[in-house]
Amino acid sequence: MSRMIVVVAGAMLSVLVGCASGPTIYSNQNPQVDVRDYKTFGYSRALGTDRPGGQQSIVSTILIDSTRMEMEKRGYVFDANNPDLEINFYLHTKEKIQSTTTPTSVGYGSGYYGYRAGAYGYGTWGGYETRVTQYTEGTLNIDLIDNARDILVWEGAAVGRMKDKPDKLQEKGRAVVAEIFAEFPVPAPGA
């Protein structure tokens, strides 16, 4: 079971940047907090991407390395003992169904271009063709929590359609974390 969780989490992470258009990125900031007031960061003791029983997953390791790089680019300092900000991660999948309906014709032209047949005087109208596709959508959340007050300060998320094969996990993990942090209120120098 825990191996399956790691495989699914790895697939989720790799797919979030695997689409040609990339994942959709969302972010929200607590309006009562300025993230520039914080100086240090660390990680939650029980990450949402860890294995049951508290073992750190490969995905957690990649996310820690990637977020640490992004935070340090922005001038924050890592503090394992008493950080101002605590970072946590969550991965979630959802099975989805997509249906696409296109006009068809009988005779000349069918399928996608079949809609033209009846309109231009050749072929006959045939109705519609519906295709149903099932796919998995993955969501990666990165949360920054005020450690002293235990309130959410900022959250970033990437949502994308998942592929079957989790290849180049570290490279893709860094890319999706960088895309999420492009929405962070404190820009990296040169960004």
pLDDT in tens, the chain (191 residues): 444 444 444 444 544 544 446 799 999 999 999 999 999 999 998 898 888 877 888 889 999 999 999 999 999 999 999 999 999 999 887 877 888 888 766 555 555 555 555 555 555 556 778 888 877 778 999 999 999 999 999 999 999 887 756 667 788 889 999 999 999 999 988 76
163 neighbors 152 (Cβ within 8 angstroms): no
Helix (H) or strand (E) holding 175: helix 169-181
- Cα–Cα dist 27/157, whole Å: 6
Q: pTM, whole model, 2 decimals? A: 0.72
121: left (phi over 0), alpha (psi -120 to 50) or beta: left
Helix (H) or strand (E) holding 9: helix 2-15
- Cα–Cα dist 140/160, whole Å: 9
- Cα–Cα dist 48/50, whole Å: 6
Domains recognised in the chain with CATH numbers: 2-96+136-181 (3.30.160.670), 98-132 (no CATH)
User: If you write DSSP's letter for every residue of 35-73 in order, what string do you get?
Assistant: GGG--EEEE-SS-TTSPTTSPPPHHHHHHHHHHHHHHHH
